[in-house]
Structure 1
Amino acid sequence: MRVEEFLENSARLDGGKTALVAGDKRFSYAEFDTAASRLASSLAGGGIVRGDRVLVFMNNCWEAAISLFAILKAGATAVPVNPSTKADKLAYVIGNCEAAGILTQGKLLPVVTEARTIEPRHLFVASTTFRGAGPGEGVADFETCLGGSGTNVDHRGIDVDLALLIYTSGSTGRPKGVMMTHRNVEAAATSITAYLDNTADDIILNVLPLAFDYGLYQLLMAVKLGATIVLEASFAFPQAIFDRIREEGVTGFPLVPTMAAMILQMRDLEPDFLPSLRYITNTAAALPPAHIARLRELFPRATVYSMYGLTECKRCTYLPPAELDRRPGSVGIAIPNTEAFVVDDDGQRVPPGVSGELVIRGPHVMQGYWRNDEATNKMLRPGPNPWEKVLYTGDLFRTDEEGFLYFVGRKDDIIKTRGEKVAPKEVETVLHAHPGIAEAVVIGLPDPVLGQAIAALVVLSDSALTERDIIKHCAAHLEDFMVPRLIEFRDALPKTDTGKVSRRLAAETLEAAE
């Protein structure tokens, strides 16, 4: 099945149902599908053809949701780009994927103008954000495009065509474009909605950027099921989000660890203050067990799903909620229709308790990186069958005797100190267990004696806490070589565009301060 069929099928089954809520705009499935078809027709009229790459450079707005499906209805490949992206990076993405078009907002047009080192065939702008100014020459007015006939585009695409090109955050070097076919997307969406027990009755609130695959899939999965998606631009004002959850009767709330930390720092929240929530999910980075326990206290009716994934296959594992008390530090088992196993440096499976690289096998594994064979060959390697490739994640894991997986750390993140190997995640788990610490990230700094010294950047929820207190806490729970030698206090931790704490940026801030 192609992804645009998610929308077409849901519109056919229950066209009057609310599909999308964004700000003060509400779209039924019939309205959503019609708007996407009209925009697709305008894209095709502007020269967009099957296989073209078209950027969606917008925040979480109704225009972005319609644009994504319109691109697919036109037979093209959607390339979602975070609206906080600067001109130089945007220029790289435009050039790298040879974009045939860009759909953006008026307020972002200056960034697009600066970034257009090559000319896409068409530029579509949501004029509602122009604040009275009209689109410039060579720019199509988004609203006008939605007023067309909406004739379906006969692109003759199939499900092995490229649906999405999602650029990684680029923590090392240039960002890489992850290639996902319609078949990849359907496999991932089907698996995730199965273990979350999603139905058409769900109302999912999404504050995560649609350019972030975790946020994007909230839209795709909701539309596939005929559920309702509520889009919000950010989590900057949590109380406003909580009000929205109450107003809409939201049942599903995807978050990342930084959002969990914000919630847990709020002192005036009473348990069960959002009774409509059926489930909460987390990915991007593992939630510390202490945070999971406190979230469960605040949301006693909500099932908490701790998950692990990466852009190259969307989702890898989830912890069945019944196992939360028994294995709070685990990211669980492989998602349905997926195989996850741990191997050594020679690619041989390792026994329980032994750390190695996690390998993922399944229909949701990416096709590779766009025009980057070297990076592709590092991540995709021959599988058990001669026709398949499996994904080497670059992450270190171990399993217990029953096969449940535990994240150890990124292979590149391992700190070597005093001749010992230390996984930053293990130290961070201990730090997060202290009630006075809201967030923490651990890195290794060059040291002439130790090789690397363990350093921690910490955001406090208790301002009375001292460096001595934290080191004493760590010494009580960690082996001596794992105790941080340096504690730095911060008002906030450095994060990527998707809100994930960045170990690389944290290291750069410490090194710059020396």
Structure 2
Amino acid sequence: MRIESYLRDSARRHGPKEALVTSERRLTYAELDALSDRLAGALQAGGVRRGDRVVIQMGNTWQAVASLFAVLKAGAVFSVLNPSVKADKLAYILRHCEARAVVTQGALALVAAEAVALAPSVRLAIVAEAPPATIPGAVAFAACLDGPVPAPHGGIDMDLAMLVYTSGSTGQPKGVMMSHRNVDAAATSITTYLDSRADDVILNVLPIAFDYGLYQVLMAARVGARLVLATSFAYPQAVFATMREERVTVLPLVPTMAAMILRMTSLAPDSLPDLRTLTNTAAALPLSHIARLRALFPRAAFYSMYGLTECKRCTWLPPDRIDSHGGSVGIAIPNTEAFVVDETGQPQPPHVVGELVIRGPHVMQGYWNDEAATRRALRPGPNPWERVLYTGDLFYTDGDGFLYFVGRQDDIIKSRGEKVAPKEVEAVLHRLPGIEEAVVFGAPDPVLGQSVRALVVASDPALTQAAVIRHCQRHLEDFMVPQGIEFRTELPKTDTGKVSRRLAAATVLEAGE
């Protein structure tokens, strides 16, 4: 199935029903379908053809949602970028994927203009919420909504649907190629185990440039749910007020959001009685955080999940297994195989750490214009006709087949000749009352090779470095105990709000510590 069919089918089934709620506008399925049709026609009139790439640099707006469906209806491939992306990176991506068009918003027009000037493949620029004059030859978004109905493009589900740009080991972002079939397989599997429904109301505060946020848009359209788009979780009380007003049933979380919720002393248990589903991915939550969230939202089923951009989602932990397998990220999602292998690709027995491999229809097609990286990630599978995804993540299974995340291969700290998994140290830090967030990383050391370092956010102002180290000494082997603990008011994060070990290490190095 092609992904634009999600919107068209839901518009036929639920035309008058609200599909999208933003602070600026509320749209029914029929309205969103019609708007994206007109925009698709304008893209085609501007020269966008089947298979062309269109970059969308926008925040969580109704125009962004209309744009991504419009690109698909035009037969093209979309790539949604975070509004905070700077001109040099935007220009690199436009050139790298040879984008035919760019859709942006008025506040970002100067950045887009600088990037477009360096990207000769771009033939069309569309600007929302402001006059488009900043970019020579640009078209106003509103004018596109009077465009023609899109012409049939002849695309099939093997065509690319989207490029998701993710950080690369070389410092330049890599474009993950996802076909319509890949996206549909992932969305179908996830909505199946989450029991997603047409009467769901999903609150999405995650950037739609982040695939976790993007899939909230796609999955809502697939099942005919109502999506409430928010732009920030900086003021959780305001977000919760919106949730009560809109009667939100589903809240996707990342660990930073969970930490902010748990710092809210005024939040009473069961204050969101309509909430039935909580999900978490990006990084595993400490068990203590999960327990407190379950106490705050007793009517909501909690889903711990693990995934990566190259296949969207890998595993899920059924809510009824949290108590028995709470440290696990669960089992393979429906229609997927997940297994742990050694350096030769042979399956590892239970409790032996190895690399996680994913087999399924949602595995990416590869990295755009990067054959070397594609060959490293996609390798021969059990059958001669297939390739499977080597994730680069270290895992082990228990005797029941449940999977446990150890760390990224390139995150492993080598100290005193021993290997230290940062996540294991973080788990111990989170067990100390008074610590809300923690990130562990390795720093160069002339004697140890690498020293184990930690940045923590504490809710207890009386907590000291010595107390934290004593706690670690009681629960960790000597070589795993951090040599340095630094208190911060917040942890370094990526544009998508994910705590970053790389940025944490960089801040320490820049300070000369």
**TM over 0.5, shorter chain:** yes
1:174 aligns with 172
2:26 aligns with 26
Q: Please say if 1:140 is aligned against 2:139.
A: yes
1:5 aligns with 5
SS of equivalent residue, structure 2 residue 252 = strand
1:499 aligns with 497
1:66 aligns with 66
CA positional deviation for 1:152? 3.2
Instruction: Render the CA deviation track for 1:51-75: whole Å, top value 9, x for unaligned.
Output: 0000110000000000000000000
Question: Is there any run of 5+ residues in structure 1 with no aligned partner, and where?
Answer: none
8 Å CA contact 1:439–1:459 kept in 2: the answer is yes
Aligned pair partner of 2:317 in 316, 319, 325: 319
Correspondence list, 1:146-295, <5 A? 146-149=145-148, 151-170=149-168, 172-295=170-293
* Letter paired with 1:3: I
8 Å CA contact 1:204–1:222 kept in 2: the answer is yes
CA distance in 1, matches of 2:65, 2:112: 19
SS of equivalent residue, structure 1 residue 194 = helix
Q: Extract structure 1 runs of 4+ deviating beyond 3 A.
A: 132-137, 169-172
8 Å CA contact 1:171–1:504 kept in 2: the answer is no
Instruction: Render the CA deviation track for 1:127-159: whole Å, top value 9, x for unaligned.
Output: x2x2x786654111101111234x132111000
Q: Please say if 1:90 is aligned against 2:69.
A: no
CA positional deviation for 1:240? 1.1
8 Å CA contact 1:456–1:484 kept in 2: the answer is yes
The 3 A distance-change label for structure 1 pair 123 and 290 is same
Q: TM-score, normalised by structure 2?
A: 0.98
* Letter paired with 1:138: G
CA distance in 2, matches of 1:215, 1:202: 16
CA positional deviation for 1:492? 1.3
* Letter paired with 1:21: V
Instruction: Render the CA deviation track for 1:36-55: whole Å, top value 9, x for unaligned.
Output: 00000000000000000001
8 Å CA contact 1:135–1:141 kept in 2: the answer is no
Indicate the larger mover: 166-175 or 39-48: 166-175
Instruction: Render the CA deviation track for 1:346-377: whole Å, top value 9, x for unaligned.
Output: 00000000000000000000000000001000
CA positional deviation for 1:169? 3.2
Q: TM-score, normalised by structure 1?
A: 0.97
1:118 aligns with 119
SS of equivalent residue, structure 2 residue 78 = strand
CA positional deviation for 1:236? 1.5
* Letter paired with 2:124: H
SS of equivalent residue, structure 2 residue 9 = helix
Instruction: Render the CA deviation track for 1:83-121: whole Å, top value 9, x for unaligned.
Output: 111111111100100110001101100110111202311
* Letter paired with 1:432: H
Indicate the larger mover: 401-410 or 437-446: 437-446
CA positional deviation for 1:251? 0.5
What is the total number of aligned residue pairs between the two structures? Answer: 510
8 Å CA contact 2:254–2:281 kept in 1: the answer is yes
When the two chains are superposed, the root-mean-square deviation of aligned CA atoms in Å is 1.2
Question: Is there any run of 5+ residues in structure 2 with no aligned partner, and where?
Answer: none
Indicate the larger mover: 92-101 or 17-26: 17-26
* Letter paired with 2:8: E
SS of equivalent residue, structure 1 residue 147 = coil
2:57 aligns with 57
CA distance in 2, matches of 1:48, 1:433: 54
CA distance in 1, matches of 2:322, 2:330: 9
Q: Percent identity?
A: 66
* Letter paired with 1:333: I
CA distance in 1, matches of 2:133, 2:392: 48
CA distance in 2, matches of 1:260, 1:223: 26
* Letter paired with 1:147: D
CA distance in 1, matches of 2:246, 2:264: 22
The 3 A distance-change label for structure 1 pair 169 and 208 is farther
SS of equivalent residue, structure 2 residue 47 = coil
